[in-house]
């Protein structure tokens, strides 16, 4: 059992179990990716494994949860604990796992359609709850797996296979929404800025609280507007002078769109963690290790039936 209940060995800074032998990239190797050559997901996967190795996080200390989509295949390509569930339902599962075992590092991985479209209300609820769950959204501004239909982040006017007259709905700004919802940590990255993305992933993993990492990711097959080159030219790392704890400044930054889109840590608010507020798990052994009595459960159920 770790010295500090609620934190895994890597969270307590103790590093891997065998001194001198940390995890290697190979330890994280899953199935061979079936993504298109040039897809930004490939870079995200590569950077992610590098970040895990640099942080000394062992595969058994990590759990990846995903739904359906190209981004949803991320756990298949990673060797660690994984749960692949329904489209749009990534966050409910991730939060349930964290509540059952707050010793486990839990990362929810979703596409922009999966998280902001079908899973939109779960996204709002997760930001309010503030469990120590990390959310990586692979934001390619289309539904990739189902052939490029518009997602909530597709720009107005973009012509797609199912929007031949151009998208009529206004796009959603997930970063501004997250600041408005007082999300504990709000970060944006781009798959092509690999060094920056790696550092952002580490910042997100080190944060105590629910964190959104919205990652711009080029889809070479269905998004001919927001290409790798387009993101490269438009992404603008936030300056050192930005204070992420200044919510008004963060909101102004988050609202920037069009030609200059900020990447980096946009907003930070160290709010109380929900797992520290729930009496049965606060400061206690994770639920999965607490004694379980079938008689007690039967007794509780009997009160309702
Ligand atoms: C409930 C439900 N609705 C719709 C689908 C069909 N579907 C599968 S993947 C997908 C789009 C995924 O797009 P996104 O989440 O943006 O991820 P990407 O493929 O771009 O990574 C859709 C609509 C489904 N599998 N389940
Ligand atoms: S369709 Fe787009 S998102 Fe899907 S693998 Fe190909 S490039 Fe990546």
Mean pLDDT, rounded, for 170-175: 97
Q: Which ligand is closest in space to the CA of residue 141?
A: 1
Return the residue whose CA atom lies nearest to atom 3 of ligand 1.
87
Q: Which residues line ligand 1 (CB under 6 A)?
A: 68-71, 87, 111-114, 138, 140, 142-146, 151
Q: Is the pLDDT of residue 136 over 60?
A: yes
- Residue-level pLDDT at 21: 78
Q: Return the residue whose CA atom lies nearest to atom 12 of ligand 1.
A: 69
Residue minimizing CA distance to atom 7 of ligand 1: 146
CA proximity to 198, closest of 206, 207, 189, 185? 189
pLDDT at 10: 42
pLDDT for position 5: 34
Which residues does 89 contact at the CB level (< 8 Å), separation at least 6?
Answer: 67, 118, 119, 122
For residue 191, what are its two tokens? Answer: 């798959």
**What share of the chain in percent tops pLDDT 70?**
93
Rg (CA), the chain: 20
Distance CA 10, CA 29 (A): 20
CB 152 within 8 A of CB 171: yes
Residue with tokens 């709905």: 169
pLDDT tens figures, 20-70 = 679 999 999 999 999 999 999 999 999 999 999 999 999 999 999 999 999
Nearest-atom index, ligand 1, CA of 112: 16
68, 71, 154, 215: residue to mutate for ligand 1 pocket, most atoms within 8 A of CB = 68
Q: Above 50 in pLDDT, residue 13?
A: no
Residue with tokens 């934190």: 7
What pLDDT does 3 receive?
38
Is any ligand 2 atom within 6 A of the Cβ of residue 250?
no
187 has a pLDDT exceeding 50: yes
Give the model's pLDDT for residue 20. Answer: 61
How does residue 188 score in pLDDT terms, banded at 50, 70 and 90?
very high
pTM here is: 0.93
65 in Cβ contact with 218 (< 8 Å): no
Q: Give pLDDT tens digits for 237-261.
A: 999 999 999 999 999 999 997 788 9
Bridge-based pairing of strands 185-190 and 261-268 is antiparallel
191 lines ligand 2 (CB under 6 A): no
pLDDT tier at 285, thresholds 50, 70, 90? very high
How confident is the model at residue 16, as a pLDDT?
44
Q: Which of 66, 72, 220, 231 to probe ligand 2 with, by most ligand atoms within 8 A of CB?
A: 220
Q: Which ligand places an atom closest to the C-alpha of 70?
A: 1
pLDDT at 8 over 60: no
If you measure from the C-alpha of residue 148 to the centroid of ligand 1, how many angstroms do you get, rounded to a whole number?
A: 10
Q: How confident is the model at residue 19 (pLDDT cuts 50, 70, 90)?
A: low
**DSSP secondary structure string for all residues of the chain:** --SSTTS-TTTTT---SSTT----GGGGB-SPP-SPTT-HHHHHHHHHHHHHHHHT--GGGEEEEE-SSSGGGGGGGB-SEEEE--TT-HHHHHHHHHHH-TTSEEEEEEEHIIIIIITHHHHHHHHHH--SEEEEEEE-SEETTTTSEE-TTSPTT---SS-TT---SPPP-HHHHHHHTT-SEEEEEETT-HHHHHHHHHHHHH-SS-EEEEEE---TTT-SSS-HHHHHHHEEEPPTT--TT-HHHHHHHHT--TT-EEEEEEEE--PPPGGGTSTTTTTS--GGGS---HHHHHHHHHTT-
Ligand 1 centroid vs 70 CA: distance in angstroms?
8
- The total number of residues written for the chain in this structure: 305
**What would the mean pLDDT of 106-127 be, rounded to a whole number?**
98
How many whole angstroms separate alpha carbon 188 and alpha carbon 173? 11
The per-residue pLDDT for range 53-67, each reduced to its tens digit, is 999 999 999 999 999
Of all ligands present, the nearest one to the C-alpha of 221 is: 2
- The pLDDT value given to residue 215: 98
pLDDT averaged over every residue in the chain:
93
- Does residue 209 surpass a pLDDT of 50? yes
Place of tokens 């209300």: 121
Residue predicted with more confidence, 9 or 129: 129
Taking residue 239's Cβ as centre, other Cβ atoms within 10 Å add up to 9
């Amino acid at each position: 059992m770790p010295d500090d209940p609620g934190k895994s060995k890597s969270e307590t800074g103790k590093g891997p179990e065998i001194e001198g032998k940390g995890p290697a990239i190979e330890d994280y190797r899953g199935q061979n990716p079936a993504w298109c050559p040039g897809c930004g997901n490939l870079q995200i996967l590569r950077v992610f494994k590098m970040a895990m190795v640099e942080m000394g996080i062992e595969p058994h200390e990590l759990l990846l949860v995903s739904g359906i989509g190209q981004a949803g295949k991320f756990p298949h390509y990673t060797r660690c604990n994984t749960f692949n569930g329904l489209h749009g339902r990534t966050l409910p599962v991730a939060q349930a796992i964290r509540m059952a075992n707050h010793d486990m590092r839990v990362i929810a991985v979703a596409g922009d359609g999966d998280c902001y479209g079908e899973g939109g209300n779960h996204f709002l609820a997760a930001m309010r709850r503030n469990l120590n769950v990390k959310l990586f959204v692979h934001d390619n501004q289309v539904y990739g797996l189902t052939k490029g239909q518009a997602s909530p982040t597709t720009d107005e006017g973009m012509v797609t296979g199912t929007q031949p007259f151009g998208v009529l709905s206004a796009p959603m700004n997930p970063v501004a929404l997250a600041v408005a919802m007082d999300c504990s940590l709000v970060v944006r990255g781009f798959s092509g800025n690999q060094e920056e993305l790696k550092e952002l992933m580490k910042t997100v993993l080190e944060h105590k609280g629910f964190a959104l990492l919205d990652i711009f990711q080029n889809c070479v097959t269905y998004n001919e507007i927001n290409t790798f080159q387009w993101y490269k030219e438009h992404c603008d790392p936030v300056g050192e002078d930005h204070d992420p704890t200044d919510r008004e400044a963060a909101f102004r930054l988050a609202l920037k769109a069009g030609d200059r889109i900020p990447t980096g840590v946009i907003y930070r608010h160290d709010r109380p963690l929900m797992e520290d507020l729930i009496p049965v798990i606060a400061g206690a052994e994770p639920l999965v290790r607490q004694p379980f009595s079938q008689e007690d459960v039967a007794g509780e159920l009997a009160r309702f039936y």
